[in-house]
Amino acid sequence: MIFLEELDRKRAYIEVNLACRMEELKGKIPTPLFESMEYSLLAGGKRIRPMLLLEMAGSMEGSLPLALALEMIHTYSLIHDDLPAMDNDSMRRGKPTNHMVYGEQIAILAGDGLLNFAFETLLDGIPRSHADRYLAAMRIVAEAAGVQGMVGGQADDVQNEGNIQDIDTLESINKRKTGALIKASVMAGAIMANKTKEQLKYLEQYSENIGLVFQIVDDLLDITGDASRTGKETGNDSKNNKITYPGFYGLEKTVKIVDELYHQSLDCLHKSGISNDFLVELTGFICNRDY
């Protein structure tokens, strides 16, 4: 299938560049810290966030550091989420989690280090020709990653564990914990590409939709997926008493919601006037990763 080949090619491009960026640290930082950061950053993963950014922004100067920073921020959040004090997960992407291999101390510092390195990468990548747009994109990423976005969503998530409340709370948490950084990937790319206000409006809707659906599909895979394919333990959410979409709506209705969100996403993308076949297929991939 051509899309999957294209997906692999683009994923490989992102991974090569992540590896090159890490290479710049080699020998300059403590070895266990380096290995721990590299272990999680190059542990596979779908690379959805950098891919969305690159599809939106194209190959203009500054796109790559933005894309790499998004993946570093995403990876740091996974390392900290998996910690014994947090979700206490032992497997991720088919491999033992960071702290299982390097211990809690190095895992905490590898997370801190990757978040900081994301900003160093961004600061190193400021282009001369369109610095204003780049700094605006950087601001979008920073806010999405922070306490008003991902960190805030995670804080609400750990506070609500085992205490299932209304669907609004669930949606509000997902929107920040997972949705914010996915939205930022699209919007930062769109700002870089100098899209019009009208286009940004539809892309905002598009990115909010796929951010939401991404989390719902993740919840579905936790129930229906098998560990050898998802790369992590399944059944974790119910084990941890985590509030999820399928837990609220049941499987059937949740699948229907995903389908609706998929069609809405395509509609928004179409209305935004962006014509990108790969992005259309990528949207389908995000909405139903069971390819």
What does the binding site for a second copy look like in residue numbers (CB under 8 A)?
Answer: 25, 28-30, 32-34, 37, 76, 80, 83-86, 104-106, 108-109, 111-113, 115-117, 119-120, 123-124, 126, 131, 135, 138-139, 142-143, 145-148, 151-152, 154-156, 158-159
Nearest CA-CA partner of 243 in 147, 164, 168, 131: 164
Phi, psi of 263 (to 5 degrees): -70, -35
Distance CA 103, CA 98 (A): 7
Helices 197-224 and 167-174, packing angle to 10 deg:
110
Count the neighbouring beta carbons within 10 Å of the beta carbon of residue 105: 11
Contacts of 25 (CB under 8 A, 6+ apart): 34, 37, 117
What is the SS3 assignment for 83?
Answer: coil
Q: Which is nearer to a second copy, 100 or 280 (CB)?
A: 100
Q: Which is nearer to a second copy, 117 or 206 (CB)?
A: 117
